[in-house]
Structure 1
Amino acid sequence: MRISPRAITFDLDDTLWAIAPLIAAAEAALHAWLEEHTPGTARRYPLQAMRALRERVAGDSPHLAHDLTAQRRLALGMALQDSGDDLAHTDAAFAAFHAARNRVELYPDVADALDRLAARWPLAALTNGNADLALCGVDPHFRFCLNARDHGAAKPDPGIFRAACERLDCAPHEVLHVGDDPRCDVVGAAGAGLRTCWINRTGAAWTRPEVRPDLIVPDLAALADVLLAGDVNQGSAA
């Protein structure tokens, strides 16, 4: 089977940039904002306590599994209220977190690869997170970003992949989805009928026996090299 997509969709977090240090920096920025504006909340909910509250909210609110923004805002509201601070601070506190969350540092291979790929194919972003393409500085490369919050369900739900295909005016098998997460990106996209590429930056072994990625590459530069060289056979490209 050969791969010749009409369009490409991309995951964002841990595909275009590393998410763990980014969230750590955003949580630190949030705590600094709380220290300045609501010191009572900052004292009652230092970094680890706020993180634990956020995780508890996620566990207690399965109906918000697709909406990380709502989870974060709910946790902030609970912390403010519990500390005797005004709930009206929720918007500004979240804005401080969100601004820092979008100060991304692209992997070294990403900018040039997106330039090369966007010159040849329409690109779209599919994310379970709350990254803002404009704030991240990558929006010129993408036709649109479809996030789980707006769609109403998160990857690996097949609906979000099919909705992206409809917006791209492509059949699912004409779209290649690229991402780092075996379950959310590869299993999910394959289940929706898309072709799949696993970005394997760590050299990990593939451990999902129910499906095999159409392509496995170490980074976006390798993906661009393979796709721009012409149709490629299914399997590992690097």
Structure 2
Amino acid sequence: MIKGYIFDYGGTLDTGGCHWGKVLWSAYMRHGVPVTEDRFREAYVYAERFLGKGETVKPGHTFRKTLSMKLEIEMNRLVSTGSWTAGEEKINRLHEDILEDVYDGVRRATAYSRGVLEKIKERYPMVLVSNFYGNINTVLAEFGLDCLFNGVIESAVVGVRKPDPRIFRLGTDALGLNPEDVMVVGDSFTNDIIPAAAAGCRTAWLKGEGWTDAVYDEQLPDVIIKDLSRLLSEV
């Protein structure tokens, strides 16, 4: 019997299951940035690793600020590697256009997620477990999600990152529940489903638009959903 929930954040509550690389790549294409997907992918990974060092993002930075920095790092990387040639004015304009585009999508996605979580919270305690940059509490407040969770386990704070199963044990401890009584909900099969199952939790895979052709063992998750609202039939 499920007695509590653990939710992932990035790619789960803020994009409806779409991989963040895909979200940004699609925005680049909508705005006509003339780069190949391979070149963009390299810049995306570079920016993620740069921000993940923990020296750039501050606890008080909003998601909008974080996204703006991420786009700036990506675009500078594309230019510095010769993948994109454009003047400063054009780069700045595209930066602002893509920022507005993506941020608007995140606001819509988090508002939808909030509606689902509010219903789940009526019956179950919930904890957030996320690989993030040290500012997840500011981001949750930005989107009105801060009052929904009984605890927040953030990799940059606790020093454990997915896919280490220990981070999910921290989540079950925060709930005060045995792992087998907790449902973990996440979009990443590698970072959420596999380690959560290894930690002894039940799992719900939010199967959205991925960024690779990887094939996973769909017998592993207890539930596969395409939309968070599907969870409401489980509660």
**TM-score scaled by structure 2?**
0.62
Q: 1:142: Cα distance to partner?
A: 1.1
In 2, Cα distance between the equivalents of 1:57 and 1:222? 31
Give the letter for the 2:52 counterpart: L
Larger Rg: 1
Tell me if 1:55 matches 2:19. Answer: no
Asked if structure 2 preserves the Cα contact closer than 8 Å seen for 1:54 and 1:71, the reply is no
Cα distance 1:21–1:217, how it changes in 2: closer, same or farther (>3 A)? closer
What percentage of aligned pairs have identical amino acids?
Answer: 27
SS at structure 1 position matched to 2:234: helix
Q: Which residue is equivalent to 1:105?
A: 107
Cα distance 1:68–1:109, how it changes in 2: closer, same or farther (>3 A)? same
RMSD of the alignment, in Å?
A: 3.7
Q: Which residue is equivalent to 2:230?
A: 222
Q: Which residue is equivalent to 1:11?
A: 8
In 2, Cα distance between the equivalents of 1:184 and 1:207? 15
Asked if structure 2 preserves the Cα contact closer than 8 Å seen for 1:54 and 1:72, the reply is no
Q: Which residue is equivalent to 2:189?
A: 182
2:52 to 68, 82, 103: 68
Aligned residues: 174
Give the letter for the 1:125 counterpart: L
In 1, Cα distance between the equivalents of 2:172 and 2:186? 16
Q: 1:58: Cα distance to partner?
A: 2.9
In 2, Cα distance between the equivalents of 1:72 and 1:98? 14
In 2, Cα distance between the equivalents of 1:139 and 1:56? 26
Q: 1:157: Cα distance to partner?
A: 0.4
**TM-score scaled by structure 1?**
0.61
Deviation track 1:84-133 (CA, whole Å, cap 9, x = no partner) reads: xxxxxxx7xx9477635496424264222111101110011111123332
Which structure ranks higher in relative contact order (CA pairs < 8 Å, sequence separation ≥ 6)? Answer: 2
Give the letter for the 2:234 counterpart: L
Give the letter for the 2:230 counterpart: A
SS at structure 2 position matched to 1:163: helix
Tell me if 1:168 matches 2:134. Answer: no
Cα distance 1:119–1:212, how it changes in 2: closer, same or farther (>3 A)? same
After alignment, is 130-139 or 182-191 more displaced? 130-139
Q: 1:135: Cα distance to partner?
A: 2.3
Cα distance 1:101–1:22, how it changes in 2: closer, same or farther (>3 A)? farther
Aligned pairs for 1:1-238 within 5 A: 4-18=1-15, 19-20=20-21, 52=43, 55=46, 58=49, 68=52, 70=54, 72=56, 95=61, 99=65, 101=67, 104-107=106-109, 109-130=112-133, 131=136, 132-202=139-209, 207-209=215-217, 212-224=220-232, 226-228=233-235
Query: Where does the alignment leave 5 or more consecutive residues of structure 1 unmatched?
Result: 25-47, 60-66, 74-90, 229-238
Q: 1:153: Cα distance to partner?
A: 1.5
Cα distance 1:212–1:23, how it changes in 2: closer, same or farther (>3 A)? same
SS at structure 2 position matched to 1:105: helix
Asked if structure 2 preserves the Cα contact closer than 8 Å seen for 1:109 and 1:219, the reply is no
Asked if structure 1 preserves the Cα contact closer than 8 Å seen for 2:4 and 2:182, the reply is yes
